[in-house]
Structure 1
Amino acid sequence: MTDGVKLTGSERRERLLAWLKESEAPLTGGELAKKAAVSRQVIVQDISLLKAKNEPIIATSQGYMYLRTQTADKQPVKRIIACDHEPGRTEEELNMIVDFGVTVQDVTIEHPVYGDLTASIRVSTRKEVSDFVKKISSTKAAYLSQLTNGIHLHTLVADDEEKIDQVCDALKKAGILIPE
């Protein structure tokens, strides 16, 4: 909290950075605005300025996160998979992935005009999946995959290759994974 003291822009951005670095969970713009005693729009501008200074901050569907670097001895395993399904199967797809202890980092589509469009998802639990799906529904936003008739890529992240293999087997059985 700023304790009623008006911070300068640079002081506020230092605090924002500290809060993001301290937090294991994403922090929403509203939460950060309340802590800093400013509007959410000020936070959005501050985050943009921090990103412009190469701070590794990402915006996810759950809020802002500071990306931490992994230690050299425990690098996560990443794999990009191709999927195809109707929008109504999104929650099923994401739950199937997180149930194996795998994180869905993002979704990418190949747009005919803009090329590759990637959006951060960062869901690792059923609750995060549920929150993501509810946010899409409540905002009446479209899933990116709707722009490509259901075809999309996901970057999956896990602590070992076997978990991602299990996800791929489950998605294949469900008719969601596009065979290589």
Structure 2
Amino acid sequence: MTSGKKILGEERRKLILEWLQTSKEPLTGSELANRSNVSRQVIVNDITLLKARNEPIIATSQGYCYFAPAVPEQWFERSIACNHEPEDAKAELNLLVDLGVLVKDVKIEHPVYGDLTASIMVANRKEVAQFIQRVNETNAAYLSQLTEGVHLHTIAAREERTLDEAEAALRQAGFLLVE
């Protein structure tokens, strides 16, 4: 927090929306906190309130994004089942993004909580590296560690053929869960 004037309540939430809508990169909670001279926890609360108003804000490993498509494009999506060790997460994600695939999320089926989904939103090696770095810096566990490596990803691409190629590459690498 800087020593500037604290931006209050609704004015701050309006600015957060504007910043997110105009940013080409995700904005971290710390960055939003510095811009508005409040704590990061205040920003987390603001984001929660904005999401409750159905604002399409997603939290990714790189920060917050406003997720409203600017230009309607046809994207193809597919859910794929994978299974690998935690140390293979980087290789799996790089394999996918190298083929031009957006990895939207990771999902597991938890025995107590049911389906758990976490946004990933990586589309290139730089974003994969940032994601892996955040996991390592925070000593966070991958969701798949709760299910002995089994997890789902929602992947997206502009062509269905790209998704077919991604599945084939995952199968060849031994990352695809096979029956």
Q: Normalising TM by the smaller chain, what interval?
A: over 0.9
Aligned equivalents of 1:64, 1:135: Cα separation in 2: 14
1:8 Cα shift?
Answer: 2.8
Please give the secondary structure, in 2, of the residue aligned with 1:24. Answer: coil
Aligned to 1:147: 146
1:49-83 alpha-carbon deviations (Å, 9 max, x no partner)? 111111111111100011113645x2211100000
1:133 aligned onto 2:132: yes
1:6-25 alpha-carbon deviations (Å, 9 max, x no partner)? 43310110000000000121
Q: What is the one-letter code of the residue matched to 2:53? A: K
TM-score (norm 1): 0.93
Q: What is the one-letter code of the residue matched to 1:66? A: Y
1:179 Cα shift?
Answer: 3.1
Aligned equivalents of 1:6, 1:117: Cα separation in 2: 36
Gaps of 5+ in 2: none
Q: What is the one-letter code of the residue matched to 1:40? A: R
Greater than 2 Å deviation, 4+ residue runs: 3-8, 69-72
Aligned equivalents of 1:109, 1:120: Cα separation in 2: 12
The answer to whether the 8 A contact 2:104-2:119 is kept is yes
Aligned equivalents of 1:15, 1:32: Cα separation in 2: 9
1:4-50 alpha-carbon deviations (Å, 9 max, x no partner)? 45433101100000000001211000111111121111111111111
Aligned equivalents of 1:37, 1:173: Cα separation in 2: 50
Q: Percent identity?
A: 58
The count of residues paired between Structure 1 and Structure 2 equals 178
Gaps of 5+ in 1: none
Matches within 5 A, 1:66-77: 66-69=66-69, 71-72=71-72, 74-77=73-76
Aligned equivalents of 1:171, 1:64: Cα separation in 2: 29
1:65 aligned onto 2:65: yes
Q: What is the one-letter code of the residue matched to 1:30? A: S
1:146 Cα shift?
Answer: 0.5
Aligned to 1:170: 169
TM-score (norm 2): 0.94
Q: Structure 1 stretch 162-171 or stretch 87-96: which is displaced more?
A: 162-171
